Amino acid sequence: MSEETPKRIAIIAVHGSLDMAYPPLILASTAAAMEMEAGIFFTFYGLDIINKHKNKSLGVSPIANPAAPMPVPNIIGMLPGMTAVATGMMKNWMGKQNVASIESLLEMCRMGNVKLIGCQMTMDVMGVKESDLIEGVEVGGAATFLDYATDASIQLSF
């Protein structure tokens, strides 16, 4: 049903943990498949999702997450190595359900022409260069994202 102006979704990804990386990528790639325009603004820790040196090793914290399928008392979650354990468990569960990897969801976003915007200020603060980011990322600031989001019928923040 191609209307003259495609619907648009504007998403903000603020967190760099594995569980928080999935929702923006799943929604943006699906929006593109539904013939909507989709864009994600990666800011603060969310920048890690498009940092090619970091996005293959995103983790999950076992601390303060009572909703985890196997909740761990915070005092245990504090022990060294527990983040790796929680991350391994989550990857295992997701693998069993054949959930796509972060890399392949990013690839599907790019195939769907999802606009990926890296936050310039975050890059400056964290010493991240444009060459550290995956291909196809546009770098911009708050005004760049707001300009995009102004014409969006859906705005979400993760």
Partner 1 sequence: MADKILDCKGLSCPEPVLRTKMAINELEAGQILEMSATDSGSANDIAAWAKRTGNELLESSEADGVYTFTIKKG
Q: Site residues (CB under 8 A) for partner 1? A: 1-2, 26, 29-30, 33-36, 97-100, 108, 111-112
Q: How far is the CB of 98 from partner 1 (least distance, A)?
A: 5
**Is the CB of 49 or the CB of 72 nearer to partner 1?**
49
Q: How far is the CB of 105 from partner 1 (least distance, A)?
A: 8
**Is the CB of 108 or the CB of 128 nearer to partner 1?**
108
Question: HSE of 61 in the Cβ direction (CA atoms, 13 Å)?
Answer: 10
Q: Which residues contact 110 (CB under 8 A, 6 or more apart)?
A: 116, 135, 136
How many whole angstroms separate alpha carbon 120 and alpha carbon 9? 21
| Alpha carbon 119 to chain centroid, angstroms | 13
**Is the CB of 62 or the CB of 112 nearer to partner 1?**
112
How many whole angstroms separate alpha carbon 61 and alpha carbon 137? 27
Q: Which residues contact 101 (CB under 8 A, 6 or more apart)?
A: none
Element housing 87 (H / E): helix 82-96
Q: How far is the CB of 118 from partner 1 (least distance, A)?
A: 23
**Is the CB of 85 or the CB of 89 nearer to partner 1?**
89
**Is the CB of 104 or the CB of 150 nearer to partner 1?**
104
Q: How far is the CB of 120 from partner 1 (least distance, A)?
A: 29
Q: How far is the CB of 135 from partner 1 (least distance, A)?
A: 19
Residue whose tokens read 């964290």: 126
Task: List the structure tokens of 83.
Answer: 């983040």
